[in-house]
Structure 1
């Protein structure tokens, strides 16, 4: 006796496949959003560590580290005539459980040499290729990498302008000090003579103190987020300074600046051939580098070490007031 088995028809199979496709289509955005939320949380945690590290540094030395030491990209005389191209982020390593990495650096000599990008007058102290600093610059440290950023950590920081030394590839950072980018690049030791109403919390070869942040630590940016790809410029390295690598500046001027702006009015699209096409996730320029791949904005560490997510639609006057530390314009976070 034969038992007749009922099987699925082709139409039924197609209906089931279509239903599964619809469910996957509905679930995929939710899964992606959940993953980005986790990445964004990790990114914020990284920045929180840096904020606490800065406060621990101040507890030890009663002042903040300089954003850089002996920068060679500026015009003028290097402080003490010594070119070192050191990033102040290295000073935070002992406070983020990376004392072993800190101890390997030769802090008395240069961290990078950018032979094609040296404008400052001074003597390069030592050779980063032989003193070990260039090799350390290649380390990919998780605390300086935002997991939301799909740009590679290494690959752009090479060559005579952006690399730590010939034959070495620097590792990029997603986080850096808040500075006035253009003056830092334009004139050596400019921070020392900058008006208090336009000063950021950090500058090259100058150690600010908490008492100088008269607008209030809770109302002033201390560390900003950026992408690991700058279209004009390369990126920011965590251990050294190269060509146009001064720090993060959220407010360049009333026209150019802002958050997550992938193209700027000042940079005409026909200056490049083929014409420039803005791409989300690639900050347009070193002087407008406050950006992230988080939807809608990016993170900042405030002077009190709290981490705030600032919307990309923030108005320019408020952004300026949050960027400078002593203009007397105390604002409430949006």
Structure 2
């Protein structure tokens, strides 16, 4: 009798505990995005533009991601001083930085993959094959990517999208003519979709630009979505940062047209 009562109570309480824990993780995730949003606005106030989505080094071999520029505004100066943006991302100068994953870039609902290996882009991108080559480098993980727009940055000439974080070009907030409260600028992505990073990428790596920026086409958490789209481990939703700094969970069921429009600056 006692065993049965304990089992019944466990069956009732365990889901409630799990729900409470996930709610706390969602709040933590939203707070991360709010910090990133504040850092973006502080950067814009100082530089009169948003950070470049990804900026190539002089050799055109690697590129540094938009989040690198935010480190001083995120109280991550200890990480910032480890990065030499005047050289290659994969130079020995940056070995230490490539092992660092600041908590502000990690959603607690996604199991912590601290680093991941980046392999070369397969010769035939339409036919997935097991990796046979050696990895190009190891990169630190992140769960938040800049919004490129509707198109795939990996397949867009010049990496010029409709969103706010583009390849080799910075955007000013005044260019967001749809209104700051109507535009996504950062969204979530899990390691199960595509391991992503805050620091940058090797340009001939697999899904290279997609490691730091993503696009909105089908909807969050859709199984039929491209690997460079957005997803989360929050049940039924993913968190997004808007250009005005507010953070909101976007339901998996969001209207597709609305979802695409929210990823456009104009």
- Which TM-score bucket, shorter chain as reference? 0.7 to 0.9
Tell me the CA shift for residue 262 of structure 1: 2.0
1:179 aligns with 2:151: no
Instruction: Give TM-score scaled by structure 2 length.
Output: 0.86
User: Which consecutive segments of 4 or more residues in structure 1 shift more than 2 A?
Assistant: 80-84, 150-154, 156-162, 165-169, 180-184, 186-190, 285-288
State how 1:158-169 maps to structure 2 within 5 Å: 158-160=118-120, 169=138
Offset of 1:228 from its aligned partner? Answer: 1.7
Distance 1:169 1:190 in 2: 24
1:95 & 1:67 partners in 2: Cα distance?
Answer: 17
Distance 1:181 1:135 in 2: 34
Q: 1:151 to 1:81 in 2, by over 3 A?
A: closer
Q: Which has the higher contact order (CA 8 A, sep 6+)?
A: 2
| 1:250 alignment counterpart | 216
Maintained 8 Å contact 2:149/2:263? no
Task: State yes or no: 1:286 paired with 2:248.
Answer: no
What is aligned with 1:267?
A: none
Alignment of 1:215 with 2:215, yes or no, is: no
Change (3 A) 1:190 1:140: closer
- The alpha-carbon distance between structure 1 residues 263 and 189, as it changes in their structure 2 partners (threshold 3 A), is closer
The superposition leaves residues 74-132 of structure 1 with CA deviations (integer Å, 9 ceiling, x where unpaired) of xxxxxx76333211111110010011211221111121xxxxxxxxxxxxxxxx242x2
Q: Equivalent residue for 1:306?
A: 246
Question: Cα gap change, 1:110/1:188 in structure 2, threshold over 3 Å: closer, same or farther?
Answer: farther
1:275-297 residue CA offsets vs partner (Å, 9 max, x unmatched): xxxxxxxxxx4332x11110111
Contact 1:201 1:222 in 2 (8 A): yes
Correspondences of 1:96-107 after superposition (within 5 Å): 96-107=74-85
Contact 2:152–2:214 (Cα < 8 Å) also in 1: no
Q: 2:195 maps to which residue? A: 235
* CA distance 1:221–1:316, shift in 2 (3 Å): same
Report the CA distance shift for 1:144/1:161 in structure 2 as closer, same or farther (over 3 A).
farther
Q: What SS does structure 1 have at the residue aligned with 2:60? A: strand
Instruction: Structure 2 unaligned segments of length 5 or more: list them.
Output: 123-133
Q: CA deviation at 1:190?
A: 3.6
Q: Considering only CA atoms, is the larger Rg found in Structure 1 or Structure 2? A: 1
Distance 1:176 1:296 in 2: 19
Aligned residues: 249
Partners of 2:150 and 2:264 within 8 A in 1: no
Deviation at 1:209, TM superposition (A): 0.3
Residue number in structure 1 paired with 2:131: none
Q: Summarize the Cα distance change of 1:67–1:293 in structure 2 as closer, same or farther, 3 Å threshold.
A: same
Normalising by the residue count of structure 1, what TM-score does the alignment of the two structures yield?
0.69
For the pair 1:47 / 2:33, whether they are aligned, the reply is yes
Corresponding residue for residue 115 of structure 1: none
